[in-house]
Amino acid sequence: MTEARMQELPEYKPGTFCWVELGTTNAGAAKGFYKELFGWDYHDSPMGPSGVYTMIKLNGKDVGGLYEMPPDMLSQGVPPHWLSYISVASADDATAQAKSAGGSVMNGPFDVMTAGRMSVIQDPTGATFAIWQPNETPGAGVHGETGSFCWNELGTTDTQKAGDFYSTLFGWGTEKFPGPMDYTIFKNGDQGVGGMYKITPEMGPVPPHWLVYFAVSDCDATVEQVTQLGGGVMMPAQDIPDIGRFAILRDPASAVFAIIKPATPKP
């Protein structure tokens, strides 16, 4: 019984990614796209003058959130995007620490009713993320399973500056991932919680960003489905030895996300 309860709600210790959220220009169209792609269901909650907040569901469990961006966000030129949330013990302390470590506070800290307390932060290189102090809602009810988020990855123009910032803020360690690409694993204790790579000129005008990965059962079939549903391919499907097969995609509103079919562990 205890084991079943633990499986119901993943534990998100401070410094762990705990939630993902889509801000989009057409919530209805986004719901249809992702439902076809990942089998998601939705539960809408009115938020007063600020519109509707949608809980994304998979087999009855929370996957993340979705909302239609208000006019003030659009007027600031904020594009449709997926936002990654990181769990913290105190949103106020983490916000102050982020500021002193060279980050910028975009919004917050503020309470999200009784669910928790949060801020939206931009790191010193320009990548945006959110911090989450849980109250009644610790985070997603499903993580790492097919149709849910399983990894978060930072693309940045300055890996030294970004690495120092996140290590200061969350106590993350760093470990180089073996391979041809210069890739760093962020570690929360002994657990790998995210990755980081340097944006090169060959990649074009890519701004620093956090990228959300969703687990899929068939990478190539999902890529094909994305194009059929009106989305696009930013990076075609390719293999990472012993890790899995992944692709970077965009939905019809141009919010970017990644998918990965994890490699089958060797016996």
Whether 186 is covered by a domain: the verdict is no
Whether 228 is covered by a domain: the verdict is yes
Q: How many domains does the chain have?
A: 1
Which CATH number do you get for residue 10?
A: 3.10.180.10
pLDDT at 182 (0 to 100): 85
Whether 183 is covered by a domain: the verdict is no
What is the pTM assigned to this prediction?
0.93
Query: In this model, does residue 227 exceed pLDDT 60?
Result: yes
pLDDT tens-digit series, residues 27-37: 999 999 999 99
> Contact, 192 vs 199, CB < 8 A?
no
> Taking the CA of residue 19 as centre, how many other CA atoms within 13 Å lie in the half-sphere pointing to its CB?
26
* Average pLDDT score over residue span 119-141: 96
Burial class (CB in 10 A: 0-12, 13-18, 19+), 181: exposed
User: Could you tell me the residue range of the domain that residue 228 belongs to?
Assistant: 1-158+194-267
The average confidence (pLDDT) of the chain is 92
Query: In this model, does residue 52 exceed pLDDT 80?
Result: yes
Whether 133 is covered by a domain: the verdict is yes
Query: In this model, does residue 217 exceed pLDDT 50?
Result: yes
pLDDT tens-digit series, residues 141-193: 999 999 999 999 999 999 999 999 999 999 999 999 877 678 999 999 999 99
> Taking the CA of residue 184 as centre, how many other CA atoms within 13 Å lie in the half-sphere pointing to its CB?
21
Burial 51-83 (b: 16+ CB within 10 A, else e): eebbbbbbeebbbbbbbbbeeebeeeeeebbbb
**Weakest-pLDDT range from 139-143, 226-230, 239-243, 255-259:** 239-243
Whether 75 is covered by a domain: the verdict is yes
pLDDT tens-digit series, residues 103-127: 999 998 999 988 999 999 999 999 9
